[in-house]
Structures are given as structure tokens and as C-alpha cells.
Amino acid sequence: MRLRLTLVLAAAAALSGCGGHGRRAIGPEQAVAGFSAAPTHVNASFAALDRLALRDPAGLRSAALAKLSSKDPNVRYAAVYALSLTATKGASLDALVPILRSRDVTERILAAETLTAQQDKRGVPVLIDELDSKVFFAHWAPPRRAWEEAQRALLRFVPADPGLRHAGKAAWRRWWARHGASVRLKPIRIGAP
């Protein structure tokens, strides 16, 4: 994920010159509240959030927490995404726990990945539950199904390949039932400090 994050941030920096938010520096509140999934703006929106995750993680985390309950799906997505990059133990990580029950599969997976990356086991069953999801993971290029992202995350955070690389949901559920209480997840930082 670190290599992917580096590549994403490098691409975001390159795309920031394409227009929208990239032409001027914007603050955390504006980056979250102004997130646009429109094809002409989505890259600049992600670039602004990614840049702030590196330059001002505390500010972005605060802005995300303030907008997490937004009724606007774009703003809510931006808040969850921003927290997935910046959450730390305490209030910001705890704020992701209710997102595990979101109606939006991408939000659920982002929250579950972040919790699991910080060794909070509450994210693992959510990732397992999405292993049969055919829904597309929102705003991802190239497109990927939610089950692919959930599987990638599980294999990344489980300490050793338990022989489930190509297993489905039922096999993962059995493994979790047997090993969930004792397994030590890999501590991996997803985003900025």
C-alpha cells in the first residue's frame, strides 16, 4: 500500500495542474466540502485531499470529522476518505466505527481497511462480508469491484497467507471464527501521520 500510496500521491500531484482545486491551494474544510465526483473534477478533488493528508493531516482530520455526518454523498465520501488517510488512535479512529454499518460499500471498506491497518479487529469481519460484493469500488481507476479491494486488504493485513488467497467468503469466515481471537494483524499505516 505504501508504494501504491506513493504512486497515488505522485499522480495526484501531477494531476493537480489539470484544473479545479489544483490551480490554487485550498484548506482542509474546502477540500472536504468541495469534493466533486464529476469526471472533470474528481482527480483535482483527490489531489487536494491527498496533498493535505501529507501537509496538514491534523487539519484534514479535523475537517473530515466535522463533515462526516453530511447528507451530501460527495462530502461524506470525502470525509471518510480523508479519515482513511489521517485517522489516528482516539476520536478519529473511533469515528470510523459507525461507518462500518454505512449503506455505502466503499465507505464501509475504507473504514474497515483503516481500522484493520491500525490493528483494530472490528474491520476484519466487514472486509470478509464484502468478499462477494459485485458493486464497484467508488471513484477507483482502473475500476475494481468491492470484493477485490476487500480481498486485497485482508491479504495485506493478515500476518501470513493462511492459504486463502483465492478463497471466498465462507472460507474466510471459517478462518476468522478459528483464528480471529488470537491473530495479530500487521500494523500498517495507510496514509499520512
Per-residue pLDDT of 74-132, as tens digits, reads: 999 999 999 999 999 999 999 999 999 999 999 999 999 999 999 999 999 999 999 99
Q: Are 67 and 79 spatial neighbours (Cβ–Cβ below 8 Å)?
A: yes
The band of 190, judged by pLDDT with boundaries at 50, 70 and 90, is low
**CA–CA dist 190, 110 (Å, integer):** 10
Q: What is the mean pLDDT of residues 170-174?
A: 92
Q: Is 25 found in the same domain as 60?
A: yes
Assess whether 187 and 123 both reside in one domain. Answer: yes
Is pLDDT at 59 greater than 80 in this prediction?
A: yes
- 100 and 186 both lie in a single domain: yes
45 and 114 inside one domain = no
Residue that terminates a domain, selected from 54, 71, 86: 86
Average pLDDT, the chain: 85
Q: What pLDDT is stored for residue 1 in this prediction? A: 38
Whether residues 8 and 40 share a domain: the answer is yes
Whether this model's pTM surpasses 0.85: no
Total structural domains in the chain?
2
Helix (H, G, I), strand (E, B) or coil at 145: strand
The whole-angstrom separation of Cα 1 and Cα 178 is 27
Taking only Cα atoms into account, the Rg of the chain, rounded to an integer number of angstroms, comes to 16
Same domain for 70 and 94, yes or no, is no
Residue 121 shares a structural domain with residue 137: yes
Could you tell me the pLDDT band of residue 25, with boundaries at 50, 70 and 90?
confident
Residue 7 pLDDT level (bands cut at 50, 70, 90) = very low
Task: Phi first, then psi: give them for residue 145, nearest 5 degrees.
Answer: -80, 155
Where is the domain boundary, 86, 115, 140? 86
Last residue within a domain, chosen from 66, 86, 106: 86
Claim to verify: residue 114 and residue 69 sit in the same structural domain:
no
**Domain co-membership, 143 together with 100:** yes
Instruction: Based on the fold, state whether residues 168 and 110 are members of the same structural domain.
Output: yes
Q: Is the pLDDT confidence value at 181 over 50?
A: yes
The reported pLDDT for the residue numbered 24 is 65
Domain containing residue 139 = 90-193
More confident call, 116 vs 189: 116
Q: Are residues 121 and 55 in the same domain?
A: no
Kindly indicate the confidence band of residue 137, based on its pLDDT and cuts at 50, 70 and 90. very high
